[in-house]
Every structure is written in C-alpha cells, then in structure tokens.
Structure 1
Amino acid sequence: MAATSSSQQNVLTATEVKEGWKLLFDGKTLDGWHLFQHPDAKPSWIVQDGTITVDLRTSGVQHGDLTSDAEFENYELAFEWKTTVDGNSGVFINVQENPENQLAWQTGPEYQLLGPEHIDNKKPAKNPGCLYGYSAQLTQTSVHEQGQWNQSVIKQNNGEVAFYLNGNLTAKVDLGSQEWKDWVSQSNFKSFADFGKATKGHIVLQEWTSPVAFRNIKIKEL
C-alpha cells in the first residue's frame, strides 16, 4: 500500500469506494471506537493532526486498548502507523470482548509494531510485522526511520491470516490448523482458553509503554 500525500489522508478514492473499502477512522473523531471493556469511559486515546494517538501522560482518563465497535470476520485491513525509535505497540485481531477476558491480548493474536531500535528487533519471532511470538518474518523487512509512516495490511479469510509490512508478506497462519493449535498449547498464551480460537472479533489498537500513531485505517470485507 503506497503512502498517500498529506492532503489525501483518511479519505477513500472513488475506486476504493467501488471496491468496497470503508474507513474505520474519519481523521477527526473516535467514532466507531471505544476503550476495551470500558465503552463509556473517556479514553487516553485522542485524535491529533489527523491521526489516532495515545496520550500516556494525561490524567483523568481511562488507559487501555482502543477497540473497534464492530466485529469483522473475512476482510482486508490496511493502516499506516509510526512510533518512537524504541516504541512498542500492536494490533490485535479477532478479539473477544466479554467478562471472561479482561485484556485484549488474552484472546486476540497480535500484529507486532516496533520502532527500529526496540530490543525485540533482536528476537526473530517478535519483529515488526510478525504474528507476535509465532514465527520469524517470512520476508525480512525493516520499519522506516523514526517519524516516517509504515504501511501494514492484515488479510483474513476463513481463518487464514496473512500480515504484510511495507509491501512484504511477513506472517501467515491458519487459525484452524493443528500447527497453530500445537503452538498455542506450548506458548505463553496456553492458560487463556479463548486465545487464538475465534475467526471473528474486534480489531484492537494496543496502548503499551510508548507513543504510537495511526492513520488511513480502512477495511474491505470479503
């Protein structure tokens, strides 16, 4: 996905509309989003300069992950993001928002987002664009320098998931496969009964320990 010019952020082209793309972020408000498990709270997430970003220092707000109001099953999701030089965040898919799971990562596999100097860049299965913890990048791909926007795509169809970073395929998994089930059973997520089982759920932006910004978040249901 090519980056668009500054005058074309958070809008769809006529071709994209015809193809069925929809914006998940209008560039002005957090309409369509809420804080995970706290739908009525004032979130730490704000809209700033046409981006969704998180203010880690503000008091009087509820901190947590930003969650799409809608759930999605078969789709192509595209978004741009950037973080600090050693930043760490993620995008969770198929998240189940229920009383049994108080944190998004307890059910949703994560598309890893990292700054170029974060220590996890030295851990192959935790590199940017990876399905966190699952495997190394399928195609070795670096994030751009601090301040530059990265382009990411997540595709899911009937439980088959593919992650792309800056135009390259970086992760692929079949959530219904025995390989995936075996990995979960031996991973740090094994104690969470619902982790990685759903093929439909919320899309969630992670608030972690560093600033992160998103723009041009759009989805096409398949």
Structure 2
Amino acid sequence: MNRIVLLFAAVLCLFAFRTATSAADNQLTDQEKSDGWQLLFNGKDYSGWKCNNGKEIASDIVDAAMQPYKSGGYIIIHEKKYGDFILKCDVKMPESCNSGIFLRVENPNDPVHTGFEIQVATGNGTSCHDIGAIYDLVPTTTNASKGPNVWNSFEIKCVGPKMSVKVNGELVCEMDADEFDLPGERAIDGDHKYKLNGNSRAVKDFARVGYLGFQDHGHPVWYKNVKLLPLQ
C-alpha cells in the first residue's frame, strides 16, 4: 500500500512539474507568466496585429497558427513597438520558402530598408539568405533547420546593438550593429539591399526600437507560440 501511495504521489508531482513547465499551443506556461513573458498571438484571431500599410489582415488563421499569405500587406506587424527583448515563435515552412521575421522596423511603409529581417527559408546553406541569418547582413554559422512541413523553433534576442538568433535551440547567428559604422557595411563583401538602396545611414544608426512582424512573401508560412519577453 505504501508503495502505491508513493507512486501516486510521484505521478502527481510529475504532472504538476509538466504543467508548470509546458503549455498548450499559444499559451504561456506558469514559469513564463512569472518571468514576465507576453503572448502576442492568441491562436484564434489577429487581435493586436495589422498589415504594415494599416489595412486589416485578410489572411485566415489556419490550425491555430498565423498564415500571413495574401494578407493585404508586405508584412503583418504587432501594434506595439519593442526595443530590447527575446522573441520566441514556432515556424512551419512549405517545400519552397523564402520569408522572414522582421524586427525593430522604424517605418512600416518601408520595412525592407528601415528594419532587420531574420530569414525564414528552406535549404541547407549558411549564407546571408539562409534560415536564421540576419538577412543581407550576417550569414549563419550552421544550418539548424529541421526542414519543411515540420515546426522549427526560433529564439531571437535583441539588446542594444547586439542581436542573436537560435534555430531549434542552436545559436546560428550573431551581430553587433555598432561594428557596422559606415553606410553599406556588413559582415561579408558584396552588394545588399541596404547598400543598393543608397541608404546614407550605417547599420549602427538604425533604430533600436520598432515594430516586429512576419513577411507575406508569396509563400503560406505558419507561425504559432509567438511570445516576447521585454528586457527594458
């Protein structure tokens, strides 16, 4: 009898631990709530989100996930601006995918040239255009993708000039914006969107506070468990 009681108590303890450390999709765990995480997507609708051009998002919610395909804008953005933070989300890509997670967008009417983009893409490369790269600025050190049609986790941290990206728990890209103090400068040689645009600002002078969002780039990419921890 004592063994049965102890076993039952152990099962209850394990259940309580899992409840505290895990949650259903699009919900915060007890620990995340305690730590101050914010849930940016409720899994039901686009409350708190809009197209970068101000229009209402035309995309549907698909299986409790955002799918900003044919949204009516170039990216869908959250209504609040953020500066220093950790952003987590789960992403599922189709067989062919070229999309992105945008951060610190200063001007919603020009997200491409006034913000940073974390690349969401299929493929096995480690360039500035592969999954987890800070698009057109810093390539990845490794490709940690699980591939298309499965969920890949992203964790992006922004603190002052420093930015880092983890894909499926593996650190794949880091940047210190202060190191790029000349217009057109980036981690590798070659032309890129900031340089070709004739942008007179160096990357170090880009806004440290701005909008975040997900790109509508012609592929039905899915996003869920969008959570943010402010660090300011």
Tell me, yes or no, whether TM beats 0.5: yes
Deviation string, structure 1 residues 77-123 (Cα, Å, up to 9, x no partner): 0000011111111011110136xxx331111111000124xxxx556
The RMSD of aligned alpha carbons is 2.4
CA contact 1:79–1:215 (8 Å) conserved in 2? yes
Structure 2 residue 44 is the aligned partner of structure 1 residue 37? no
Distance 1:180 1:206, change over 3 A: farther
**TM-score, length-scaled by structure 1:** 0.82
Question: Which is richer in strand?
Answer: 1
Cα distance between partner residues in 2 of 1:172 and 1:11: 28
Cα distance change on mapping 1:195 and 1:216 into 2, 3 Å:
farther
Q: Which amino acid aligns with 2:120?
A: L
Deviations 1:155-174 (A, max 9, x none): 01112111111111111111
Determine the structure 2 residue equivalent to 1:22.
Answer: 38
Indicate yes or no: 2:76 matched with 1:73.
no
Q: How many residues align?
A: 203
SS at match of 2:174: strand
- CA offset digits 1:18-66 (Å, max 9, x no partner): 001010101111111110022xx2323321211000343xxxx723210
Instruction: Give the whole-Å Cα distance in 1 for the aligned partners of 2:167 and 2:126.
Output: 17
Q: Give % identity.
A: 23
The one-letter code sitting in structure 1 at the alignment partner of 2:29 is: T
Runs of 4+ aligned structure 1 residues displaced above 4 Å come to 179-182, 193-196
Deviates more, 1:193-202 or 1:89-98: 193-202
1:145 pairs with one of 140, 147, 157: 147
Q: Which has the larger radius of gyration?
A: 2
Tell me which residue corresponds to 1:188: 193
Gaps in structure 1 of 5+ consecutive residues: 1-5
1:74-153 equivalences under 5 Å are: 74-97=84-107, 102-116=109-123, 121-122=124-125, 124-138=127-141, 140-153=142-155
Local SS of the residue matching 1:128: coil
Tell me the secondary structure at the aligned position of residue 105 of structure 1.
Answer: helix
Question: For structure 2, which runs of at least 5 residues remain unmatched after alignment?
Answer: 1-21
